[in-house]
Structure 1
């Protein structure tokens, strides 16, 4: 074990967001198509923390889109119920949070200003929006105004900025703090980087120095418990947000809990143990989405679960096309349950892509004080 691995447990490991606290300072990042109630339930069996559902667009919520309403599903014992909202209009954001309060839909609201997807930034949403400081402040203010009387904390997630020439994270952190946010989270990349290259953890340290009264959470390149401890040590952040690192590895939350408590991190699971987790995930998805749709949804997880294990290409293809629980069980029976967890399963996983120019509305960079609501920016998209 390294010095980081043997870090002693302390009261500082508790992460408080509003009136809620978690003994492990870890947040599951909302990921579109991933962090539904089935995946969250699976992750929650491994450790304490905050587990945020898939991102919900404010307009779809206010208009009660059937698919959106189904996405707001929580287990009876899930607490706090954390929901992430994406919005570009202060009025719609206020209506959405008011609806959450009045209908008791969630206990904690997170706000997404980190999405780097071109179809979003092209309309001024996501990671493009914090550049408009007044509009950003108005959106956060609207959410807090509706949530605070009910004791619902509002947290805000954003990126370093649009690109290296247009950084926004320090202003965004100060504004969120001033407007009453309960915590802020920084994905330490610019929108231009998307998910490529390396996260700049020095930005997390800078944000921690700039934001003094609320927790600062760090996000980016946490693929192991050692990564999480190192981020906290190097930046002074109050907790970590884990996204791609837990894809096909829900037991990462067990590793994080043990590491933050100062205990040794368990060895990686054997293929037999991974198969059991995979089967459990399939059962939960079938329960949430129905057997047919649930098993189709599971397909995208297969490569993540089986990464690095000695499995033939034909068998891998069969897993990627699985359509039923019985078929999955037959495929699992063909695996070697004693195969140890492979070294090359460690490290980055999920989407990475390449850096590129950020698509923005015409004239977007002309006036950062312009509070005009972006036109037609609210749409379905992946989080950031």
Structure 2
């Protein structure tokens, strides 16, 4: 598929995002090295790992290290997590005062139990007043200098507690520059299939700001299909680019109406993997960077006929020299495998969402969850 969609350019505040593609923040993945690797394949908006608002305000060293951006990275996009309007306002004010980022994305979509049991992430939009107050506090701090604030959320807690239409309306009313919907509930986590019809309903419901769709974008054709089926203004890509940063090249081509390039041969994948290693080593130091690379190996080699022993060795790599030796053992002419496409990353299974006691009693209760921001370790 190479046809283009006749839609106006995606604008996030003052920034035009062309193609209309956003890299979703992923913990332990979207550091400055991975973002640069992806940016080398195509334009878009590339969001750093999630930052805890309290950890930022308290200047936790790990958090300050995580907000590293390349000199040519623009706009610099930071995702914040928080449950307290006061702390969120202070965090955004700090971003503004110290020129730490050009765009702030707010995370109300995380389904991880350690987050939802404190009332954070995808549990929080159920508390409509508190949700609105957090968005409003961020926007008030950011607005005077033109830093756009966007909001990402899920369909709801579970099928019995749907929150996304209220969340979209409240985000719009309180000054968000755009909203993004992951078409799953918190209970689904990353299992099953994303419900794109919910993205279409949100687009009908939110009238004045862009709506982005997220969930099951594993190819450039998926992105075009989502936009055609839902009317959304852009797409958010997460797990689909794991071990496949060239997905952004494919997206760049397809949105421009050009043919999608063929999948890379194993030799090309080896070169990308080596580039990723080099960037991580520059960012973290060689030993730490190569340890970090290990989590990516299975995704890069997915579907290729690489023996189990060699795969095991890739998973233990600890130096660039060792990596070079292993890459030299690969056949560079092996074509990209047919099953190299499709879902990737951990899908897991659906489960009951862990919530604070009494969380569902009153959606209008704006009380900040007790102890939700005690863990200020960042990330």
Name the CA distance, whole Å, in 1 between partners of 2:341 and 2:290: 26
* CA shift for structure 1 position 380: 6.8
What is the deviation of 1:9? 6.2
Cα drift, residue 158 of structure 1 = 0.1
* Contact 1:185–1:217, Cα closer than 8 Å, also in 2: yes
Gaps of 5+ in 1: none
Match of residue 32 from structure 1: 27
Quote the Cα distance in structure 2 between the aligned partners of 1:194 and 1:341: 30
Cα shift at 1:8: 3.1
Aligned to 1:52, the other structure's residue is in SS state: strand
1:232 corresponds to which of 227, 230, 247: 227
Aligned equivalents of 1:361, 1:107: Cα separation in 2 = 34
Runs of at least 4 residues of structure 1 off by over 4 A? 380-383
TM-score where L is the length of structure 2: 0.98
1:119 to partner: Cα distance: 1.1
Once the two structures are superposed, residues 262-315 of structure 1 have per-residue CA deviations (whole angstroms, 9 ceiling, x without a partner) of: 111000000000000000000000000111100000000000000000101000
Q: Among residues 242, 249, 252, which one is paired with 2:247 in the alignment?
A: 252
1:48–1:364 Cα change, 3 Å: same
CA distance in 1, matches of 2:315, 2:50: 25
Cα-to-partner distance string for 1:226-258 (whole Å, 9 max, x where unaligned): 100000000000000000000000000000011
Kept in 1: contact 2:42–2:249 (CA 8 A): yes
C-alpha displacement at 1:203, in angstroms? 0.2
Computed over aligned residues only, the root mean square deviation of the Cα atoms, in angstroms, reads: 1.2
* Counterpart residue number, 1:298: 293
Partners of 1:382 and 1:132 in 2: how far apart?
24
Q: Deviations over 1:84-139 (max 9, x none)?
A: 00000000000000000000000000000000011111111110000000000000
Match of 2:2 among 3, 6, 27: 6
Contact kept in structure 1, 2:184 and 2:194, CA below 8 Å = yes
* Structure 1 residues 232 and 380: CA distance shift in structure 2, 3 A: farther
Query: Could you report, residue by residue, the CA deviation over 1:166-218 in whole angstroms, capped at 9, with x for unpaired residues?
Result: 00000000000000000000000000000000000000000000001000000
Distance 2:250 2:4 in 1: 15
CA contact (8 A) 2:45 2:77 kept: yes
CA deviation string 1:7-51 (max 9, x = no partner): 1364x2621100000220000000000000000000001111000
CA distance in 1, matches of 2:165, 2:378: 24
8 Å CA contact 2:281, 2:287 repeated in 1:
yes
Alignment of 1:1-384 (within 5 A): 5-8=1-4, 10=6, 12=7, 14-378=9-373, 379=375
Distance apart, 1:6 and its partner CA: 2.5
Counterpart-to-counterpart distance in 2, 1:335 and 1:175: 53
Q: Secondary structure at the match of 2:150?
A: strand
Shift of 1:351: 1.1
What is the distance in 2 between the residues matched to 1:172 and 1:339?
47
SS of 1:217's partner is strand
- The answer for unaligned runs of 5 or more in structure 2 is none
